[in-house]
Amino acid sequence: MAPRDKERRSGNPKSSVKQQPKKSGAGGKFTMGKAGDEWQGYDPEERRIDPEDGFAYTWDELVDFYKGKYKKKELEAYWEYECTPKTRGKPKVAKPEPKAKAKAKAKAKAEAKAPKAVEPKAKVKAKAKAKAPKEIDPEKDEKLAKAIAEVIPYFPFKKLEKFYDIQGLLHHPKLLNAMCAVMARRFRKMKVTKICGFEARGFLFTPVALKLGVPFIMLRKAGKMPNTISSGPYTKEYEGVDEICVQKGAIVKEDKVVLIDDLVATGGTLCAGIKLMEACEATVVECACMVELKALNGREKCLKAGAESVWGFISEDLLNTKAELPDDYKDDGQK
């Protein structure tokens, strides 16, 4: 605390500013001595800790700090009996490091600055192989294929007894993400530069391109985009004639592309896409789909048109989920 008020009384003579002076002869060099001795003041270098704030002050600093607040006699008593002397410890001298330790430090510093030796190619390849992600077990892929097949029902649609509805997969985002991961893993080995998806269900596989970090190119029907190159007319899987287009400059010479759609049926759309890529001087490394309808021989047509490979993740044999149709169901694909 700061110096006490004048009216303060205490039984402890060391805590009151109104205490009696020390007996004659009891003082030291810097305290009051016997009557008649001249007071020589406090040691200007001595510091004492003020209990009020915990900081160490010299006598002059303490007086200056409490100037105008307390009288000198009150401060003298406060300094003597309530401020505790600050001990003066001897400065620590750093011991010199042993020679062996100093040499070790210097060596470590030199090694850090020195350029690292180039590792042999074989060793670098071995390290890269160790860090590479492990291949997914084919059995796990098969389980995933079965799980996806269960959520893709078939409908009587467009005069077909079985029309597979991919909308069922979109209700299960985890399965869709897993499907795209399988595709990305496969295409990464092929070092593809672009993924091309057909309007409209092929656009659902945009995440494959995102996982690979390559551009996704939309292949759209004629009249849907400006500044395009056309495949020319082709016969669609079910009925009618159509035309597929890509924007100029989207595909360039020496691109390695994957054409992707929801399924391979007769191969008409995929073959039109292959023809379009050929016009752009790109290579179709694979025609990929979620489902391959093998009975319609689309695979053979695509290979003959110039695709290096045709791949379907789910066999039609697994697609046995029949849609639950309401009583008023109507095949509205017959228009």
Q: Compute the distance between CA of residue 289 and CA of residue 259 in angstroms, rounded to an integer.
A: 8
Quick check: bond before 200 cis, omega within 30?
Answer: yes
Q: Compute the distance between CA of residue 230 and CA of residue 39 in angstroms, rounded to an integer.
A: 112
Spell 132-142 as b/e; 16+ CB within 10 A means b: eeeeeeeeebe
Tokens of 93: 């001298």
Please indicate whether residue 324 is annotated as part of the active site: no
* DSSP one-letter code for 212: H
Tokens of 52: 């009020």
DSSP-H helix ranges across 13-137:
59-65, 72-81, 99-113, 121-131
CA distances 188 to 92, 176, 316, Å, are 64, 18, 25
CA 89 to chain centre: 52
The three-class DSSP label of residue 198 is strand
Query: Are 255 and 282 in contact, with CB atoms under 8 Å apart?
Result: yes
Please indicate whether residue 201 is annotated as part of the active site: yes
Cβ neighbour number for residue 127 with a 10 Å cutoff: 11
CA distances 324 to 97, 152, 154, 321, Å, are 85, 12, 9, 9
Cβ neighbour number for residue 196 with a 10 Å cutoff: 28
Of 74, 82, 237, 316, which residue is the catalytic one?
A: 237
Of 188, 199, 201, 278, which residue is the catalytic one?
A: 201
- Active-site annotation, residues: 201, 237
